[in-house]
Structure formats: structure tokens, C-alpha cells
Amino acid sequence: MSRVLISAAELAESLEAGKSPLVLDCRARLGEPGAGRRLWEAGHIPTSQHLDLDRDLAGPPGEGGRHPLPTPDAFTAVVQRLGIVPGTPVVVVDDMGGQLAAARAWWMLFCWAGHPDVYVLDGGLRAWQEVGGELVLGQDSQPASSQWQPTFNEGATIDADEVLATQSLKVDARSLERFRGEAEPIDPVAGHIPGAVCRPSAANLTEAGRFKAADTLDAELPRADAVVAYCGSGVTACHNILAYAIAGRPLPRLYGGSWSDWIRDPSRPLVRG
């Protein structure tokens, strides 16, 4: 597995040297459409472009869950609009240690669309500011569009019927309270997929909001011959997939619809407790 994290100091050095990786600001707030754009306009890493969780990294909610994957054609239009090409490194950033849209963007670009050089800023915007990185206001110039046509890896995903049939270990990235069905603040039904284990995405990070060391993650992450990653809507599950990548382990498949899709069919089994 190639390297998937970049430090704030490395990013600053790269930008100062004029190497110009494409920086994508993926900040988002669940349930607040437009919040990421407002945060970006209020201050962002120089040259960075806004990448929206709801508009760019997901299809319309409904069939397929709250954040279903967009169609390949729709995501191709996004990468072309942003000028993404395989020959230019991409750095994705959020302000939650990658737990929201940064890890989702990494997964969609690297694992699904096959871009060879995608990095998550370890520690996110907080780490950038800690090394003295400046934030700029307003709109930077839009990059020239690209003609890249990704070849999508459909084997990186798994749907509900396959999840029901597979013997793969299901790893749930939600909190333990949501996994047990003790609290469910978002979806109308509480619980988890039978046979699943809970690995909250927050457990992948140190108290400073950076990823734990590779050997620590390797010791902590659930181990099985085959793993399926899921969460509430297919966003924080990508953080667990990223943690597997950092640990040097085979990557889980993503159940993109996750719990919000699973519960759409009342015949599917579930567990509480």
C-alpha cells in the first residue's frame, strides 16, 4: 500500500516550493448542507478548492441511504471540473481528523476512481495552523478543467444483498452507543448488522487528532480474511478503510449505503444490544 498521509509541514514545504499539489477542502457538517462552503469561504489553505460532501461526494439521499455514492459519470464530472489528473498529487483536508469528508474523498479518488497520488492531511486544518500555515479568504482562481476519465473499481464496493450473503467480517465505524442501539440521533431505526463488530472511527486518532502509528492501528483494527466497512451512511466507514491502509493491511470493501440503506428494507435482520 502506498503512503496515504501527508503532514502539515510537508504540505507547507510543497506549496512554498511551487510543487502545487491540488488541495481539496472537504470540511462538512452532517445535517447542515452548505456549511462546508461557508467554512471554506471564511478561511482556507491557499490554493485549496472546496469539495462538497453532499453535492460532490454523494448522490441524492433516498434509495441507497443518506449519502449514497454518486454515479461514476457524476463523479467524473466533479474530478474534471476541479482539474484532477493522475499526474498531479491531491491532498484532502477537513477539520475532524479525516473522520468526515476527507477520508470519503480519499476513498473515492484513490480506491474507487484509481488516482495514484491522494493524501489526507494528518491532523487536518488544526495541524496546518499549528505549523503557522496561513488561511486566506474568498475565492481562489478555479483550476483549468481536465479530461481525465477514471476507470472505476467496482470491486471496492459491496451492496446490501452481498453484505447479507457474505461471510466477511462487518466493521461498524459508528460510536458504541449507536452500534448497540442505545442511542440513534440520525437514523429512524437503531442497532447494527448481524455479525458486525464496532470500531469507532474516532479510535483511529490520537488525542491530538492525528492518526495513530501504523503498528498501533495494525494491533487494534479487527482482523479477518475479508472485511466490509460500514457506518451510518458510508462516510466515516472510509476513515476505517484509511486506517487499514495506514496499517498496511488489505483494504475492506465499502458498503456505501451503510446502516441508512440497510434499514430501508424491514426484512433485513438487525441486532440491538
Give me the active site residues, please: 231
Distance separating alpha carbons of residues 103 and 129, to the nearest angstrom: 20
Cell matching residue 267: 426484512
Amino acid letter for position 34? G
CB atoms within 10 A of CB 272: 12
Half-sphere CA count of 175, side-chain side, radius 13 A: 9
CB atoms within 10 A of CB 144: 8
Cell matching residue 23: 488541495
**DSSP code of residue 154:** G
Distance separating alpha carbons of residues 260 and 273, to the nearest angstrom: 18
Alpha helices in the chain (DSSP H): 8-16, 35-42, 53-56, 72-81, 101-106, 124-130, 160-165, 176-180, 214-220, 237-246, 258-262
Distance separating alpha carbons of residues 143 and 165, to the nearest angstrom: 44
